[in-house]
Amino acid sequence: MLSKLQEHRRTRLLVLVYPHRATFITWNRKTGNHFHNFISWQDLRAIELVKSWNDSLVMKFLHSSCRVLHFFTRSKELLAASRFTFTIQQASLRLAWILQNLTEVQNAVEEENCCFGTIDTWLLYKLTKGSQYATDFSNASTTGLFDPYEMCWSRLITSMISVPLSLLPPVKDTSHNFGSVDEEIFGVPIPIVALVGDQQSAMFGECCFQTGDVKLTMGTGTFLDINTGNDPEHTVGGFYPLIGWKIGQEVVCLAEGNAGDTGSAIKWAQQLDLFTDAAEAEKMAKSLEDSEGVYFVPSFSGLQAPLNDPCACASFMGLKPSTNKHHLVRAILESIAFRNKQLYEMMQKEIHIPVTNVRADGGVC
């Protein structure tokens, strides 16, 4: 690979980074050494924090006061604040858990020697040998620490959960000169011209550029995104506002709902030897007229919108003596369709934007 790069020194090479969004890491600002492994977007260590914060008097006061203020001002930002809740898949309370439980990180924060970053920030830092430290608006907006209305880190949320603003990286445009890959890595200095979250990049790649365009990605989880134009949309049921991308003066906003277990549920069934591959799973499901009342709840990482229960467990229901693994496989596949239907119906109910196009992608498609 290095020889090929060196042979094409005159060819214009560019790097675009589009990783998982809510997975994060913290590291020593001086040495670049990480304090812990990546904390995945499906990590459940902050479940109790999420429950306690969402049930807290502070959150109840925030919601009620913002509802009153919204009544008089009709501010969209206050309306969003009145609906705000923490979720387990946002980085915010998982980061708060790290700050509360890892002494090494606590000490580094006190010495202003700690960096936080989602995977894009970490890769940028490593590829540039520590010379660049930043994220973009699309990745920042997925952390639960960002205010999409003010387009900056939220002072309110960070102060509520005791996350220092000094810990968070500068936020840049999605298309931006992020420096170059250090020449020692590939033999040539390759410019890094964009950072973007995986679902936002899928939205862009599917050409969902118009208000009302919808993208459904079915991978490890399911992510349903709708282009809401220039205005963030926050719903009661669990669709949350994101920045799709910011290129120059153009800001495109999305609303997103997700189900945490799609491909992961299929992989689990395969590991149990219910089937060997996708072709066999399809054949087994089609061999039955229906699942005979057997249902599967795909919630290895809780249930997201519209139920928003991080403690929900995966389960089969309706099992009978006549149930065999064909019924189980069909129930698992049907559960994906049911979750997609739930998300789509909630999107139509709570986001009053006519759907213009629906594009689907991901490894499960």
| Residue indicated by tokens 């000169």 | 177
Considering just the CA atoms, what is the radius of gyration of the chain in Å? Answer: 22
Angstrom distance (rounded) from CA 86 to CA 50: 6
| Residue indicated by tokens 């149990």 | 272
pLDDT mean by block of 10 residues, the chain; 365 residues: 46 66 94 96 92 95 94 89 90 97 97 96 96 97 95 96 96 96 92 94 96 96 96 82 96 95 96 95 96 96 88 94 97 97 94 94 90
Residue 61's pLDDT is: 96
Residue ranges of alpha helices (H) inside the chain are 2-7, 47-54, 57-73, 76-83, 91-101, 103-110, 119-127, 137-140, 155-160, 183-186, 198-205, 263-271, 278-286, 325-350
- The helix/strand/coil state of 26 is strand
| CB 193, CB 215: distance < 8 Å | no
Angstrom distance (rounded) from CA 146 to CA 157: 8
Residue 2's pLDDT is: 43
One-letter amino acid for residue 73 of the chain:
T
Q: Which domains does the chain have, with CATH numbers?
A: 2-46+88-195 (3.30.420.40), 201-258 (no CATH), 263-343 (3.30.420.40)
Residue 12's pLDDT is: 58
Residue 156's pLDDT is: 94
Q: Which long-range contacts (CB under 8 A, 24 or more apart) does 276-285 make?
A: 281/329, 281/333, 284/325, 284/326, 284/329, 284/330, 285/326, 285/329, 285/330, 285/333
> Is residue 169 packed enough to be buried (19+ CB in 10 Å), middle (13-18) or exposed (0-12)?
buried
Residue 111's pLDDT is: 95
| CB 163, CB 92: distance < 8 Å | yes
- Helix, strand, coil in percent for the chain, rounding step 5: 35, 20, 40
Give phi and psi for 148, each to the nearest 5. -75, -10
Instruction: Name the token pair of 174.
Output: 């999605």
What is the CA angle 184-185-187, rounded to 5? 65
| CB 265, CB 276: distance < 8 Å | no
Q: What is the pTM of this model?
A: 0.90
Residue 11's pLDDT is: 52
